Amino acid sequence: MTEYLNLPDATELSGVSGSALGALLDECVTASWHQGCRYYPDVPCPPHWLDLKGKSAGQAHFKRGGLRFNATLLRENPWRFLHEVVPHEMAHWFVFHALENDGRRRAPHGAAWQAMMRDVFMRTPSVTHSFDVTQASPRPYRFRCACSTHHLSHRRYLNTLKGTRYRCRACGKPLHYQGPNDPVAATKV
């Protein structure tokens, strides 16, 4: 089998940004769908969005009827993202639409998904990515318990302002706000 994604090499992709990167994502989703249709021609082409936040790189969202991708992780890791994450999510899409029509749910990363990754999308099945998520999921707020320092996200910080109490998993003591890790973070409230 030959590689079905005709993308620039990693060095060329590192200089691509903005709408050009979005266009490459569109091409990659379409090429992956065409690849899957060689084996399962009745599967619909999924719409896709760059609206996923946090540590997740991608998500096959069946209720919404499409694929979601993390723009920050795409921008920071374009070659690996397009070669790994898009086929990963497309494999979920094809397992759901081509194999789950019998009413039986398949394990998300079970045998059917692994076979789809290997046999259709020509990728080694991998459940998680290894991207640096520092920018995609920042934790700019410093809290302290009896045993250590913890870094919480903006959302969790806002929850503490509304009265939510978080406890340390190690010592069980409540976390107390110490201040922002970065002075710029304090202006986000």
89 annotated active-site: yes
Buried b (16+ CB within 10 A) or exposed e, 177-189: eeebbeeebeeee
Tokens linked to 64? 């919404």
User: Under a CB-based contact definition with an 8 Å cutoff, are residues 52 and 136 in contact?
Assistant: no
Tokens linked to 101? 């029509």
Q: Of the residues 12, 76, 89, 100, which is catalytic?
A: 89
Q: Which residues form the catalytic set? A: 89
